[in-house]
Structure 1
Amino acid sequence: MKKVLAAVLTTATIFSSTVVPSVNVSAATISSSDYAVAFKDSLWFYDANKCGPDVGKDNVFSWRSACHTNDGKFIGADLTGGFHDCGDHIKFGITNGYASSILGWSLYEFKDAYDGAGLTNKVLSTLKYFTDYIIKSRVSATKYYYHVGAPSDHEYWGPPEQQPGDRDKVYYVDPSSPASDVCGLYSGALSLMYLNYKEIDSTYANKCLELSKELYALGKNKGTCKADGFYTSTSGDDDMAWAAIWLYVIEKNNSYLTDINSLLSSPGTNWAICWNDMKLAAAYVIGSVTGQAKYKDAVTSNLNYWQNSIPKTPGGVKFLTEWGMLRYSASASMLALLQYKLTNDEKLKTFAKSQIDYILGNNPANMSYMVGFGNKWPQHPHHRAAQGSMGWGDWKSPAKNTLTGALVGGPDMSDNYTDVVDKFQATEVGIDYNAGLVAALAGMTKYYGNLPSVPPSNTKAPTPTPTKSANPTPTPTIKNDFILEDVNKDRAVNMADVIALASCFGKVRNDSSYKQECDINKDGSINMSDVMMIAQKFNYTY
């Protein structure tokens, strides 16, 4: 035992400097328990992209704190909050609206998975950070801000906390400057927040519903958002149909169905759910709620296309397009699992599993394309905060901070991945990328994750009140919400956890001295992989 303890302590000391292990993870190590771990990590990613004075609250990343606290000041408005778009710091309405819509939808459809994984409070806290930002962006019933930041933001390479100057470029929607795409996405996100939050805080939920209807009315002025060429939206009709169906779900007012049939007369598409195409998301909900054949058929046709017509790499992942290709595989998997929920068609579940398993490591590179998962993952995600350095001189070095849960763009058609910061197609991450992944992993956790029959107790969800100062120490949402690396449950990851793990080092499941809490990665064996996970959060408190 002394020899084992010495080896473990030495390893922890070496890895406490956040050196990332480079041991290949075998595809065979992806087990049912891994889905819940990946689910948790994918949701945690959003903490890395928080913006505003309250970044440090309920944040799992100690390297993130208050930033951009003067957003909107130059026009006399408080536009702080919300989420940075990708590895940059611009806040785009279309990706904030898309991500909050998809995350809210995933909770609505797979709440049992969130409950079973102990993630309900965390997702509600994340969703409220989105909706708080939407609410404060309101000027009047006919004017909302939705964009903060200029293209010149991309010239800065460094953490958002140290970005100099105030951001003096904003866009807003009003009748003369329409943005029906953002209005529809914001409306849908607020309606879903009403549905997910009404039993927790009815006052806040009702406010969300009120503004959802307001934004829907504003979105009837047709036009697409301004985004300085970064996001060129082709239409807002699909987004408005998305908004309309959720308002119908809540109010059962047939006028919304009338609008939908005009907005989404042709719901079919050979693409995937994404920030620029909400046809299938809307069609799925419309078809499941109303039973109308053309919407149900659109979903069926698209999933058949994904399974049978889209080319796949030699490793088996579907390749829709080069830029950020894994986000599309993730959102297609999300839709397949939602359709499985309705139809029990095993082929859909099998398809989703093949795509998600590829993302998690069942691929020719034997690496996870989600940062921090497994033992091998991308070391150069395109993300300024994770990079942790100031200036372009160090921008090609490995990231100093582990961007846990971030889905990178992915490999090329030949399964080759270029782990270079400026290879944007491959290494970019984004709040829109992870939205479909979180939802898909919720489904995978539900159907493959061996969730406990009695889920963890989730009491009243957090309702943080925005303040003018940030607390850099993450605050737990509920007392029993411990992170996996905290083996002894003292809300700190340190030598005490390494020592606790050493007591059952080398044991496997069914051994008499095997302890589930020491099997951090839940692969059925307590070994160096678990030590490495502790090392990644060494000296972390929460």
Structure 2
Amino acid sequence: MAGIPVKTCLLGAFTLTLLQTGAAVTQCDNVVIVNEWQTGYQANFVDKAPVDIKPDNGGLTMQWTFSAPVTFLEFFQGPTVQVDERHFTLTSQTVNLHEDDDFIFTFLVHFAGDKAILVSETLNGIPICNATGTTPVPVVTTTEPVVITTEAVITTTEAVISTTEAVITTTESVVTTTEPVITTTESVVTTSETVITTTEPVITTTEPVVTTTEPVYTTLTPEDNPCEATGMKPYDYSQVLCMSYLFYEAQRSGPLPSDMRITWRGNSGLDDGSDNNVNLTGGYYASGDHVKVGFPMAYTATVLAWGLIDFADGIKAAGQTEYAEAALKWATDYFLKAHTDEYQIWGQVGSSEIDHAAWVRPEDMTMERPSFVIDEDHPGTELAAETAAALAAASMVFWRDHTAYAANLLDVGMQLYYLANTYRQSYDISIPDAKNTYPSVTGYGDELCWAALWLARATRDPSYITSARDHWDEFNFLNDSHTEFSWDDKRPGIYSLFWLLDNSNVYSDALKSYLDWLKNEAPYTPEGLVFLGDKGSNGYAANAAFISLFTAKNGMDTEANHKWAREQIGQLLGDNSRYSRSFVVGYGKDPPQRVHHRGRFPPAVKRSRHLLNSPLERASQGYHPIIVTPPEHKASCLPPAPEGAFNSPDPNPNIIYGALAGGPAENGDYVDDRQDNVHNEVSCTYNAAFSGALAALVEIS
């Protein structure tokens, strides 16, 4: 037999794995990708537990193999150990399942090169990967020296292949490789005759067999923006107004309605209030966490209603009246539910300490969520008064089309104002946890005056304007220097309503002085944003712009106040000279992609969940109930918040359209970093006056 020389190299003893010829790389069929981006994806694992998985029998241990190198794997039920770039071990002591129970959880995969799909799984020693095609199968492992040829062409007239299971005769054998492709229990030797001994059938062909079949994925594309562009210049105030109201849908707690435009949110907080045998489902999560704090929620509702009252034409022109009213009513419905007695209202659900320790979506909460009340024995003047203001303002919005509902709002508002004024005490004394998140810094005097003014406007009862004047005199609001209009400080709002309801120069002078201070003396960033506070600087600027636009509409320095407010809103939408970026998620040039918000990450939950039955059907649509933690599991036993999700450099998979990011520092610095809750968190309070300001700009554009 004739042959030709071959070039060989001898490798030291090491382990190789033979992949069956013709194998196609496909993903395990219990994995459903629900969202992906250029360098990673989110997926749901959906299967039946093959055995009991319980903490007392060793918990969960899974070994995973990927098709390509993985830079980072996020598993939210326990620690992961990276064996090498393709192999990981996942463990958990919180899984508590019986054999055949649905086992569903979410994980995230990050990679730098080729997409890494999951091609092999074992769960507590049991193989569970059933790929949709043929996956690479290890055949033989050896630690013997292996001879590798970089090019080999062997011609024989009688090539004989010996095997324990099959004999195949061919007139020509060609093998080309630059990588180890054959692992045997014996050394591979190149001789004048080709002899291969293996424990599996071997097929020899005249051409190298290379399988390059691409993996097939079932994925969902990122959700489109439900708010269409209108072409308005220089900025699309109508579209951004639509998006601002859309943001409030992303903040909803409780059972969600079928007309939700945000499809990645699901029901949450369904046991809220159960610790005190009251139903406190509903309302809004305050910001990027899951505590429901009544004080800032009530401020949000008051200012949303104010926009609906005074800039109704702009909201209508943008086609947003229905959505604006829905955003307001979601809050007022909750306040009516939380008002469980004439002089009682529940003011908070959730503990800031417990909540902030768990970086989870609201749908996946298992921590304790204590509820807190104010009443005659546990006064909370700021909370009761602000809620009274919200209900009074909302009654004006709903009076024409929902008279009975509006009358109920007004009745409850009057009861809460009585509670606030008669039983005076800062609310964060009765609800101490509020000091950690929304402490009352300016005291309760401004809320008492603010509530009396809104009741005066809603009822036209002169006794309330008299009460407001009394509060003005008692608390001397002009004694301190001008500051922001915010959930804590209502003074600029008080100046505005007093000027509207009372023609005394005292109030108009106070309002004009405040607006002049904003233009001429207030601090600004180098780019031109009025800087009234570090945490949420954009929100403070939007609030001030709203006051300026309200004043302009009612005839005070109209041109100057329009110009200043338009410039401030322009800063939020892209006029900032250093960055030329939008601070509104999903809008404009280079908007924030990594805002501090738990609900946006991990993966999406699709609204079709109500129609889906099997776990695989639900997971294929993005629904992933985390069932590995038993319902009785409390915060003290929870695993630590998954730092991988929090620290990931990737954009947030779910887009919180319309959310106004916190904003730059006083020196203008801003980094799109979800770890920075001072400058990159979102909040219901930021978008309230922002919505009204946008409506005002629609009116004058």
CA-CA distance at 1:413 after TM superposition: 2.6
SS at match of 1:147: strand
Amino acid at match of 1:374: G
C-alpha distance in structure 2 between counterparts of 1:101 and 1:303, whole Å: 21
SS at match of 2:554: helix
C-alpha distance in structure 2 between counterparts of 1:115 and 1:267, whole Å: 35
Whether the 8 Å contact between 1:283 and 1:296 is mirrored in structure 2 is yes
Correspondence for 1:474: none
Correspondence for 1:88: 289
Are residues 434 and 79 of structure 1, via their aligned partners in 2, closer, same or farther at CA, if it must alter by over 3 Å?
same
Whose strand fraction is larger, Structure 1's or Structure 2's?
2
Correspondence for 1:285: 497
Q: Does structure 1 residue 210 correspond to structure 2 residue 411?
A: yes
Correspondence for 2:558: 345
C-alpha distance in structure 2 between counterparts of 1:70 and 1:270, whole Å: 42
Correspondence for 2:452: 244
Amino acid at match of 2:311: F
Q: Deviations over 1:236-290 (max 9, x none)?
A: 2211211111221233322212211221233345112101111221221121111
Correspondence for 1:403: 656
Whether the 8 Å contact between 2:542 and 2:693 is mirrored in structure 1 is yes
Q: Deviations over 1:285-337 (max 9, x none)?
A: 12111112222111111111110001222211112222211111100000000
For structure 1, the residue ranges without an aligned partner over 5 or more in a row are: 1-12, 22-28, 449-542
Q: Does structure 1 residue 311 correspond to structure 2 residue 512?
A: no
Q: Does structure 1 residue 267 correspond to structure 2 residue 468?
A: no
Correspondence for 2:624: none
Q: Deviations over 1:2-50 (max 9, x none)?
A: xxxxxxxxxxx9x9743999xxxxxxx9824611111111111111110
Amino acid at match of 2:680: T
Correspondence for 1:201: 402
C-alpha distance in structure 1 between counterparts of 2:222 and 2:600, whole Å: 12
Q: Does structure 1 residue 375 correspond to structure 2 residue 583?
A: no
CA-CA distance at 1:56 after TM superposition: 4.1
C-alpha distance in structure 2 between counterparts of 1:423 and 1:30, whole Å: 33
* Number of corresponding residues: 427
For structure 2, the residue ranges without an aligned partner over 5 or more in a row are: 1-216, 226-230, 429-433, 604-640
Correspondence for 1:38: 240
C-alpha distance in structure 1 between counterparts of 2:659 and 2:241, whole Å: 11
C-alpha distance in structure 1 between counterparts of 2:258 and 2:450, whole Å: 31
Correspondence for 2:438: 231
Amino acid at match of 2:269: H
C-alpha distance in structure 2 between counterparts of 1:313 and 1:137, whole Å: 41
SS at match of 2:427: coil
C-alpha distance in structure 1 between counterparts of 2:400 and 2:597, whole Å: 37
Q: Does structure 1 residue 173 correspond to structure 2 residue 366?
A: no
Correspondence for 1:153: 355
Whether the 8 Å contact between 2:662 and 2:682 is mirrored in structure 1 is yes
C-alpha distance in structure 2 between counterparts of 1:263 and 1:58, whole Å: 43
For residues 101-116 of structure 1, the aligned pairs below 5 Å read 101-116=302-317
SS at match of 1:315: coil
C-alpha distance in structure 2 between counterparts of 1:267 and 1:117, whole Å: 37
Whether the 8 Å contact between 1:99 and 1:431 is mirrored in structure 2 is yes
SS at match of 2:647: coil
CA-CA distance at 1:360 after TM superposition: 0.3
Amino acid at match of 1:418: V
Whether the 8 Å contact between 2:355 and 2:367 is mirrored in structure 1 is no
**Bigger relative contact order, structure 1 or 2, given CA contacts below 8 A and separation 6+?**
1
Whether the 8 Å contact between 1:267 and 1:298 is mirrored in structure 2 is no
C-alpha distance in structure 2 between counterparts of 1:255 and 1:374, whole Å: 48
C-alpha distance in structure 1 between counterparts of 2:507 and 2:241, whole Å: 29
Q: Deviations over 1:100-158 (max 9, x none)?
A: 00000110000111111111111111111100100001121121111100021111112
Amino acid at match of 1:357: G
With the length of structure 1 as denominator, give the TM-score of the two structures.
Answer: 0.76
Whether the 8 Å contact between 1:197 and 1:205 is mirrored in structure 2 is yes
Correspondence for 2:109: none
Whether the 8 Å contact between 2:536 and 2:663 is mirrored in structure 1 is yes
Whether the 8 Å contact between 2:663 and 2:670 is mirrored in structure 1 is yes
Are residues 125 and 20 of structure 1, via their aligned partners in 2, closer, same or farther at CA, if it must alter by over 3 Å?
closer
Further displaced range: 37-46 or 413-422: 413-422
Q: Does structure 1 residue 427 correspond to structure 2 residue 686?
A: no
C-alpha distance in structure 1 between counterparts of 2:224 and 2:322, whole Å: 29
Further displaced range: 184-193 or 86-95: 184-193
Whether the 8 Å contact between 2:232 and 2:238 is mirrored in structure 1 is no
The partner residue of 1:163 within 354, 360, 365 is 365
Correspondence for 1:492: none
The partner residue of 2:602 within 388, 406, 417 is 388
Whether the 8 Å contact between 1:158 and 1:384 is mirrored in structure 2 is yes
The alignment's C-alpha RMSD in Å is 2.2
Q: Deviations over 1:146-199 (max 9, x none)?
A: 1100021111112100111441x2221111211111111111111112111111
CA-CA distance at 1:391 after TM superposition: 2.4
Which structure has the bigger radius of gyration? 2
CA-CA distance at 1:368 after TM superposition: 0.4
Q: Deviations over 1:469-528 (max 9, x none)?
A: xxxxxxxxxxxxxxxxxxxxxxxxxxxxxxxxxxxxxxxxxxxxxxxxxxxxxxxxxxxx
The partner residue of 1:219 within 420, 431, 448 is 420
Whose helix fraction is larger, Structure 1's or Structure 2's?
1
Amino acid at match of 1:348: N
The partner residue of 2:326 within 125, 144, 154 is 125
Correspondence for 2:260: 59
Whether the 8 Å contact between 2:602 and 2:645 is mirrored in structure 1 is no
CA-CA distance at 1:396 after TM superposition: 2.4
Further displaced range: 98-107 or 32-41: 32-41
The partner residue of 1:182 within 367, 383, 392 is 383
CA-CA distance at 1:428 after TM superposition: 0.9
C-alpha distance in structure 1 between counterparts of 2:531 and 2:329, whole Å: 34
The partner residue of 1:417 within 662, 670, 692 is 670
CA-CA distance at 1:415 after TM superposition: 2.4
C-alpha distance in structure 2 between counterparts of 1:146 and 1:131, whole Å: 13
CA-CA distance at 1:207 after TM superposition: 0.6
For residues 351-362 of structure 1, the aligned pairs below 5 Å read 351-362=564-575
Which aligned runs of 4 or more in structure 1 are off by greater than 6 angstroms? none
SS at match of 1:426: coil
Further displaced range: 223-232 or 425-434: 223-232
CA-CA distance at 1:75 after TM superposition: 1.0
With the length of structure 2 as denominator, give the TM-score of the two structures.
Answer: 0.59
